[in-house]
Amino acid sequence: MVADGSDVTRSVDSGAAEEPIDIGSRLEMFVDRLLVDRLAGVDWRLHHPQKLPLAAAPLVGWYVTVIKDGDLYRGYYREMDPSFTGRTDYSGHPGEITCYAESRDGHEWTFPELGLYTVAGTDRNNVIMAGKMPFCHNLSPFLDTRPGVSADRRFKALAGHPGHQRDTQADGLHAFFSADGIHWSEPSEEGVIPFDMSWPHAFDSQNVAFWSTAEQQYVCYFRTWQTQHGQLRTISRTTSADFLHWSEPVRMDPNLPGEHLYTSQTQPYYRNPALYIALPTRFQPGRGDSTDILFMATRAGSTSYERLFTEAFIRPGLDPARWGNRSNYTAMNVVPTGPAEMSIYHAKSGHRYVLRPDGFISIQAGATEGEILTKPVLFQGDTLALNYSTSAAGSLRVELQDPAGHPIPGFALDDCSPIVGDRIDGTVAWEGSPDLGALAGTPVRLRFVMTECDLYSIQFVEV
């Protein structure tokens, strides 16, 4: 059920006087309420990803990151030195190592012998960081897409001590840099995000950061504590212009009462970098400390998440091992693995889950006709592209209206050719091929009338 508990026919009316939303030529998914004014006879639907058979050589580890770098998929994960015999508790995980893997298809992985560190008596391993604890705890790399970034800092990462010692130089998150994603710099001398007892937080899970093209700054999401509904694990956000000096963190508090969110995996969606998706792990203390995975969304610059759905996005499933403590985490980053497929990596089991692009949430109509009306939007382009799926008996039509709700001549519902099929980027046609580009920059509403159809995303493009 959608988080507000409302039924299939509803109004999300925000008033005709509001300013139009400028979407330009940006792809827009229906993972939040930003564009939707009214729904009638349709509703949001959460789509659960399909688990594929386990690869012969899967990517498995703690706090995994997957980066698509051109045609290469890079994988990073935390392991322990098997020869380490000291303490492995919150004194700093001194036996922790960071390992590296590669894939050409996003499914089967190789684990190159890099010869960088001697671990368990050999350097024939894929270890890219060892012996740097507590500075490198849970290293979380990313590919820096900032224009003009120096070649020796093309990859960046944050990592650090959980902060339990509270009196050492190691406390806090440290900055790491790399030219190739394999050979990494020494950690910054001091924590760039220091441990500060004035706000309750912990650095003992994945502290994810990226360059935001929409915000033109670096953004980091990490775990903090919320006390409003008890001592709950929650998520905070901080920003930086240079990756070294960070703003005062802002707590985003997406938790329901009594709900722990252990990681966030907040990331810019690869088809719309102004929209951030999140796959947090929900932790259930007192119920076997079991976990599952949720779906949330937030926008560039926002200090809150929107949760259309509060139930699990990925359940633990039939495998009993998936019901234990810390058994359900996804890798940082959802990545494309084909023209009609994107992949989510389950870090502990190694399984790959797939969805169609934009396929997290749709607005869905059943056998009875229903419709969506958007708020007024401004767009750029001359063609409307849709990501949709109908049944053989289903269809979709589109009408353009002025802000007052009157059909625009040439773009009325009866002028639209019925759309039937299943396309990632299908285009809309109206009788007589009126000039859609002539409406660019003018406020319009979009009315979608559907039966047996899922609508995942829209985008105005130049053809």
Among 107-121, 156-170, 277-291, which range has the highest average pLDDT? Answer: 107-121
Using CA atoms in the order 231, 237, 238, 243, what is the torsion angle rounded to 10 degrees?
110
pLDDT at 282 over 50: yes
Task: Kindly list the distances between the CA atom of residue 439 and the CA atoms of 77, 171, 344, 372, 435, in Å, as whole numbers in the listed order.
Answer: 49, 55, 38, 20, 8
SS3 at position 246 = strand
SS3 at position 322 = helix
Task: Kindly list the distances between the CA atom of residue 281 and the CA atoms of 158, 346, 390, in Å, as whole numbers in the listed order.
Answer: 20, 11, 32
pLDDT at 11: 44
Q: Which pair of tokens denotes residue 311?
A: 């139930």
SS3 at position 380 = coil
Q: What is the mean pLDDT of the chain?
A: 91
pLDDT at 168: 56
Q: Which pair of tokens denotes residue 131?
A: 């012996």
SS3 at position 440 = coil
The percentage of residues in the chain with a pLDDT greater than 90, rounded to a whole number, is 79
Cα end-to-end distance, the chain, whole Å: 38
Task: Classify each residue of 169-189 as buried b or exposed e, where b means 16 or more C-beta atoms within 10 Å of its C-beta.
Answer: ebbbbbbbbbeebbebeebbe
Q: Please check whether residue 63 is in contact with residue 81, taking contact to mean a CB–CB distance below 8 angstroms.
A: no
pLDDT in tens, 343-374: 999 999 999 999 999 999 999 999 999 999 99
Question: For the chain, which residues make up each domain, given as ranges?
Answer: 10-47+362-461, 54-358
Radius of gyration of the chain (CA): 23
CATH placement of domain 54-358 = 2.115.10.20
pLDDT in tens, 262-275: 899 999 999 999 99
pLDDT at 188 over 60: yes
pLDDT at 229: 59
The arithmetic mean of pLDDT across residues 14-36, rounded, is 88
Using CA atoms in the order 42, 48, 52, 54, what is the torsion angle rounded to 10 degrees?
180
pLDDT in tens, 449-458: 999 999 999 9
Q: Which pair of tokens denotes residue 228?
A: 């409003």
pLDDT at 195: 73
pLDDT at 88: 52
The percentage of residues in the chain with a pLDDT greater than 70, rounded to a whole number, is 90
pLDDT at 10: 37
Centre a 10 Å sphere on the Cβ of residue 414 and count the other Cβ atoms it contains.
9
Task: Kindly list the distances between the CA atom of residue 283 and the CA atoms of 36, 269, 333, 359, in Å, as whole numbers in the listed order.
Answer: 31, 24, 20, 25
pTM for the full predicted model: 0.93
Q: Which pair of tokens denotes residue 416?
A: 């639209």
Higher pLDDT, 91 or 193: 193
Q: Please check whether residue 314 is in contact with residue 355, taking contact to mean a CB–CB distance below 8 angstroms.
A: no
Residue 86 pLDDT level (bands cut at 50, 70, 90): low
pLDDT at 373: 98
- Please, what sign has the CA dihedral across residues 196, 198, 204, 208? negative
Task: Kindly list the distances between the CA atom of residue 30 and the CA atoms of 93, 407, 414, 454, in Å, as whole numbers in the listed order.
Answer: 41, 23, 25, 11
Q: Please check whether residue 104 is in contact with residue 71, taking contact to mean a CB–CB distance below 8 angstroms.
A: yes
Residue in the structure block whose two tokens are 């820096």: 144
pLDDT at 95: 85
Q: Which pair of tokens denotes residue 194?
A: 């220091």
pLDDT at 202: 72
Residue 16 pLDDT level (bands cut at 50, 70, 90): very low
Q: Please check whether residue 143 is in contact with residue 155, taking contact to mean a CB–CB distance below 8 angstroms.
A: yes
pLDDT in tens, 387-408: 999 999 999 999 999 999 999 9
CATH architecture of 10-47+362-461: Sandwich (2.60)
Question: Which residues on adjacent β-strands are paired with residue 232?
Answer: 226
Q: Which pair of tokens denotes residue 288?
A: 């076997």
- The H or E element spanning position 395 is strand 383-401
The arithmetic mean of pLDDT across residues 54-67, rounded, is 97
Task: Kindly list the distances between the CA atom of residue 128 and the CA atoms of 75, 80, 158, 216, 417, in Å, as whole numbers in the listed order.
Answer: 11, 13, 15, 30, 56
Higher pLDDT, 175 or 198: 175
Higher pLDDT, 182 or 229: 182
Question: Which residues on adjacent β-strands are paired with residue 373?
Answer: 38, 447
Nearest to 392 by CA among 456, 343, 453, 460: 453
The DSSP annotation for 351-377 comes to -EEEE-TTTTEEEEE-SS-EEEEEPPE
pLDDT in tens, 115-157: 999 999 999 999 999 988 778 889 999 999 999 999 999 999 9
pLDDT at 31 over 50: yes
Higher pLDDT, 340 or 94: 340
